[in-house]
Amino acid sequence: MGRMDGRVALVTGGGTGIGRATALLLASEGADVAVNYSRSRTEAEATADEIRALGRNAIAIRADVSVESVVREMVDRVAEELGRLDVLVNNAGTTVFVPLADLEALTEEAWDPVFNVNVKGAFYCARAAIPMMPETGGQIVNVASIAGTCGQGSSIAYCASKAALISLTKSLAISQAPRIRVNAVAPGIVNTRWVKGWDEFIRTNREATPLQRVAEPEDIANAILGLVINELVTGQVLVVDGGKTL
């Protein structure tokens, strides 16, 4: 018996990286999974195929989470095709790479996509999903970042968006209790395509981390599963960074 038997999860940005690892882990624990993607169709469909190979149901759904009407259509489709919705993992995210000191380069065109996806997108998904979740309870896990707590990252816009996501997590946890639990994970550097080719950057971060390694997507997936199954945790931000921010 898996710890997720009979449950259905929606993982945004589920075709690659943290999202893919989370979708596969939830499926291995017995969940049926909807794999959302915006551009990574091939990867999302491959992830769905892997889930089916585990004996679970899966669908790949294209949706831009920053568009509310599209999000509502996506959630309706999950409930229709998979029968219910118990778990939402808000993993979809984006960034712009702007040096923190270069304030003039952080234009409105740079700010808007980051907040639209990372903050408004997570809210739209949560708002659409919550009414679909059973009276016995549902779980939402938001994928934030240590950038949202320490102020350092790919850009000020990204840091601010992840700080906003952490605040959103707490507000939703308070407002939706006791039926819905809402938590967040805050990874440090994760070995995904975002840092592909940045060998020196990865090495520097690894050496500055007490556990002497950067995270793999599976490390973050394990943290997400833990928050989903622990029934007395809500409104919390679980830092998964090997001690980098100690």
Task: Tell me the helix, strand and coil percentages in the chain, rounded to 5.
Answer: 50, 15, 35
Six-digit token string for 1: 């018996």
Active-site residue 158, yes or no? yes
Six-digit token string for 243: 């001690």
Alpha-carbon distances of 95 from 110, 118, 232, 236, rounded to whole Å: 9, 9, 32, 23
**Which entry of 37, 115, 123, 158 is annotated as an active-site residue?**
158
Please tell me the distance from the alpha carbon of residue 139 to that of residue 141, in angstroms, as a whole number: 7
Please tell me the distance from the alpha carbon of residue 18 to that of residue 25, in angstroms, as a whole number: 10
Strand partners, 34: 10, 59
Please tell me the distance from the alpha carbon of residue 54 to that of residue 58, in angstroms, as a whole number: 10
Determine which helix (DSSP H) or strand (DSSP E) holds 77, and give its type and residue range. Answer: helix 68-82
Torsion-angle region of 17 (φ positive above 0: left; ψ -120 to 50: alpha; else: beta):
left
Enzyme catalytic residues: 158
